Amino acid sequence: MDNIILEMRNITKTFPGVKALQDVNLDVRAGEIHAVVGENGAGKSTLMKVLSGVYPHGSYEGAIRFLGKECRFSGIHDSERVGIVIIHQELALVPLLSIAENIFLGNEQSHYGVIDWNLARRRAGELLRKVGLKEDPDTLITNIGVGKQQLVEIAKALAKKVKLLILDEPTASLSERDSDALLSLLVEFREQGIASILISHKLNEVGKVADRITVLRDGRTIETLEKADISEARIISSMVGRSLDDRFPPRHPKIGEVVFEVNDWVVHHPVHPDRVAIRNVNVNVRRGEVVGIAGLMGSGRTEFAMSVFGRAWGTGISGKVSLHGKPIDVSTVGRAVKHGIAYATEDRKTYGLNLIDHIKHNVTAANLKGVSSAGIIDDMRELNVANDYRKQTNIRSSSVYQVTGNLSGGNQQKVVLSKWLFANPEVLILDEPTRGIDVGAKYEIYTIINRLAEQGKSILMISSEMPELLGVCDRIYVMNEGRIVGELPAAEASQEKIMRMIVRGDDKPDEEEEHKVRTAS
Amino acid sequence: MSTETARSALNPERETAQAAIKQNLREYGLVLALVAIMLFFQWQTGGVLFKPVNLTNLVLQNSYIIIMALGMLLVIVGGHIDLSVGSVSGFVGAVAAVLMVQYKLDPVLTTLICIVVGGLIGASQGYWIAYMKIPSFIVTLAGMLVFKGLALWLLGGRSVGPFPPEFQLLSAGFIPDVIGPMTIGDVTLHSTTLLIGVLIVAAMFYLALRSRRARESHGYTAERFGLFVAKNAIIAAMVLFLIYMMASYKGLPNVLIVMGVLIVLFVFVTKRMTIGRRIYAMGGNVKAAALSGIKTERLTFLVFINMGMLAALAGLIFAARLNTATPKAGLGFELDVIAAVFIGGASMAGGVGQVAGAVIGAFIMGVMNNGMSIMGVNIDWQQVIKGLVLLGAVVFDVYNKNKA
């Protein structure tokens, strides 16, 4: 193996309670495009954060050698100085500054602290030509599209004399044309001797440009494939190859009639109202059924759920929501709750809990009417309710007076669930109900879900963890880019099938379909 | 964590008692601070502070701050701020003066009109804050300038007064002694006041006992009986002492009755009513509250209407006290009101704060004003000391929170 510029050896990174990376090895040759693939949570982003110094030397085990030298980065600044530049999934550009100002942010073209604007503009112009972006360096970032912003990020990296460029899901929010332009740029850089690490879910584009692919799974390196060995099937089986053991409680589904139905659901993006975020989604859930929505992050699952739940996300919403075959009005959260719909958020700290208040007040927050009469809260009834749910969902705390901000993630999730259980919904939408919680708490959450289904509730569950969907659901919808790209009974589903639907469903809708969506909205 | 749970399983009663004390430590601490400050000034002023006439004055001087602090508490708990209350109260005082002095309108009708005007002012500011999402700091900063200017314009730059005597009763009046005075030794006591005091204490004991019974009947351990009695006895003693002082002067001032009723009402709203709970939920996490079906926009709007009405009432009381409406009325009140709420333990970020805390916070400020004035401390140093006390109280709070 000659010409290796980057060597990461036996990288192990532990977070409290979780081993995010375990003995991961990665090497990158000079002038190659090296793809890193894996499921959500496989450890790709963590590995890149170790490499770029976001997690400083000493917070992980293992060694990094770059250009033959041992590296001990204490921050992003150190890694950038040696020529390793990372471009994150969420772009780090300041929207109200110009392109030139952004390119040289933190790296200003200055003499003794005074910025030389002419030099900055000229150099920005050169860099923009290199990345093939025809924009005035004085244009504000907010006035250019996401694809162009991505190019500005790359220009910014070039300004730092990059030798190894790391791109974290660079094409996730780009159209196909912009993606192609970006990928050909990487190929161009390869010829100039700049190596890239490309993190992507889109296996077709990885196959197109990558020289080698490293597959991560559960925080370990599974294998590194040479160009000749790259095939979609091989990558997929490598990515998901793990068995379903008894991590899931047994289920005895008793599925009845269709209870909840969403038809022709179209939602536009709240910030860019001309962008269709959810396209003609049709979903139904039966009595006692647990229905999963699979998909990658950013596929529109949360946006779909929140738009159904009282239009909490999006604008220009059209479509029909029915309960027991009758259309219902879910135009506000209050109305949705009144009709028996609940949505337990994926982000419990931001959207789920009042972290400075205790369990008791959080449990009753969505159904204060249930513990009050004529607007006056019955303290004892509230205390009984809170204690009851604390027992039911097995919240581990000193009492119901413990502040929710001090609970562990799993127990916080149980408080969120309790809150919605007390609202007594017929349809429960659970968004990533087990994100960031340990295996034991996950099992408890699954048990609660099973119990609810047995009680005849209809459950719609969004999850990025495919084994979880396979283990808990009766039926699975697959979503990508705001559309349902497949539906299959859990019994027939496999991770490979789902993954294939996601990666194949990447193609943009053809002209005709696009037209239909437009007229429908 | 596991040792903690083990301990609580072994001795649940002690655990709850400790938790209860810990939970209420701040409120007890605040009461103790107020008592300490009062004793300090009692000593420094050579016994003037606790003289019946001075205690009565203390109430009269601070009533309008306390009334506004009640509304401000809801505003701050809801995650906002209102800088306009001083100007609004001044403006409403001016409106009252114009209506009663120039248009000879009936005082009762004037009072009602003024409170409606206050509500409308609150609504006009609340609309921008709640529905247009303009930061409350900016909207009410604008309101502060606007209503200061309007008051000046309305009064034509002059003081307008005096008011009809019925209106002055709002601030200068005392409740009539329907029973008749009672003389013990060389002091004459206002017996109606005494009776009201005894009734208040009896009601307090009854309510405390009732909620204790309710806890026990649901199978929860209440705090230990000794602690329960001691706590209530101390509060009762303090109330009775104040009542005795008032009774040995002219009895209960009318303002104190208005203030007392409002305080009880706001304690009830914040502790027991769904709307109060929703304000805390909104201040704690507005996104989570909205996703729980709470109409956060309407709630914010209502909170500002309430603030406007209380500011109007405070403006009326202040005008009645001075017996004239001046363009300078209300100047800087917002600072005292906001300081009272923060000294009382509210959090700038919203979601935290108690009515009782705000009231005690206002009294701490009031006693310091009063005590330092009697001592002859210059106004410049008074400001410095009050500022440091505000900073100290909040630092103490933050320090405690970080430790816990």
Mean pLDDT, range A63-84, rounded to an integer: 89
Q: Inspect the interface and report whether the beta carbons of A354 and B215 lie closer than 8 Å.
A: no
Task: Give the DSSP letter of residue B251.
Answer: -
pLDDT at B84: 97
Binned at pLDDT 50, 70 and 90, residue A42 comes out as confident
From chain A, pick out residues whose CB is under 8 angstroms from the CB of B281: 354, 357, 361, 365
CA–CA dist A310, A314 (Å, integer): 10
| Rounded-to-integer distance, Cα B104 and Cα B90, Å | 20
Query: Is pLDDT of A511 > 50?
Result: no
Nearest Cα residue in chain A from B214: A380
CA of B290: which chain A residue's CA is closest? A333
> Is the pLDDT reported for residue B28 higher than 80?
no
**What residue type is assigned to position B124 of the chain?**
S
Summarised one tens digit per residue, pLDDT across range B144-198 is 999 999 999 999 989 998 999 999 988 888 988 888 888 887 788 888 999 999 9
Count of pairs with CB atoms under 8 A, one residue in A, one in B: 96
> Residue A76 in contact with residue A49, Cβ under 8 Å?
no
Best residue of A307, A309, A311, A354 to probe chain B, by most B CBs closer than 10 Å: A354
Tell me the β-bridge partners of B187.
Answer: B184
Using the Cβ of A95 and the Cβ atoms of chain B, whether some distance falls under 8 Å is answered with no
Query: In this complex, which of A337, A377, A380 lies closest to B274 when CB atoms are compared?
Result: A377
CA distance B253 to chain A (A): 31
Rounded Cα gap, residues B339 and B358, in angstroms: 9
Does residue A516 surpass a pLDDT of 50? no
Distance CA A295, CA A463 (A): 8
Contact partners, residue B253, CB within 8 Å, separation at least 6: B56, B59, B60, B63, B171, B173, B174, B175, B246
Is the CB of residue B288 less than 8 Å away from at least one CB of chain A?
yes
User: pTM of the full predicted structure?
Assistant: 0.78
- What percent of chain A is predicted at pLDDT more than 70? 93
**CB < 8 Å to A369, chain B:** 274
Q: Are A26 and A189 in contact (CB under 8 A)?
A: no
Structure-token pair, residue B228: 């329960």
Is the CB of residue A425 less than 8 Å away from at least one CB of chain B?
no
Structure confidence at residue A507 as a pLDDT band (50, 70, 90): very low
- Alpha helices (H) in A274-332, listed in sequence order: 301-308
Tell me the backbone φ, ψ of residue A44, rounded to 5 degrees.
-60, -50
- Helix, strand, coil tally for chain B in percent (to 5): 75, 5, 20
pLDDT for res B40? 93
* Interface pTM, i.e. ipTM: 0.84
Find chain A residues with C-beta within 8 A of B347's C-beta: 356
Confidence grade of residue B26 (pLDDT, cut at 50, 70, 90)? low
Query: With an 8 Å Cβ cutoff, are A356 and B292 in contact?
Result: no
Does residue A195 carry a pLDDT above 60?
Answer: yes
Residue A439 has pLDDT above 70, yes or no: no
Q: Do A366 and B293 touch (CB under 8 A)?
A: yes
pLDDT single digits (tens) A239-252: 776 544 567 888 88
Report the pLDDT averaged over residues A416-421.
95
A34 has pLDDT over 70 = yes
Q: Does B299 touch chain A (CB under 8 A)?
A: no
**Helix, strand or coil for residue A257?**
coil
Name the burial class of residue A77, with classes exposed (0-12), middle (13-18) and buried (19+) by CB atoms within 10 angstroms of its CB: exposed
Q: Is the pLDDT assigned to residue A323 strictly greater than 90?
A: yes
Res B32: pLDDT = 85
**Partner-chain contact B215 A366, CB within 8 Å:** no
Flag if A350 and B273 touch (Cβ within 8 Å).
no
| Minimum Cα–Cα distance from A402: chain B residue | B19
Best mutation target, B207, B216, B291, to test chain A (most A CBs within 10 A): B291
Question: What's the rounded Cα separation, in Å, for the pair A330 and A340?
Answer: 10
For A142-171, the pLDDT digits (tens) are 888 878 888 898 898 888 888 999 998 887
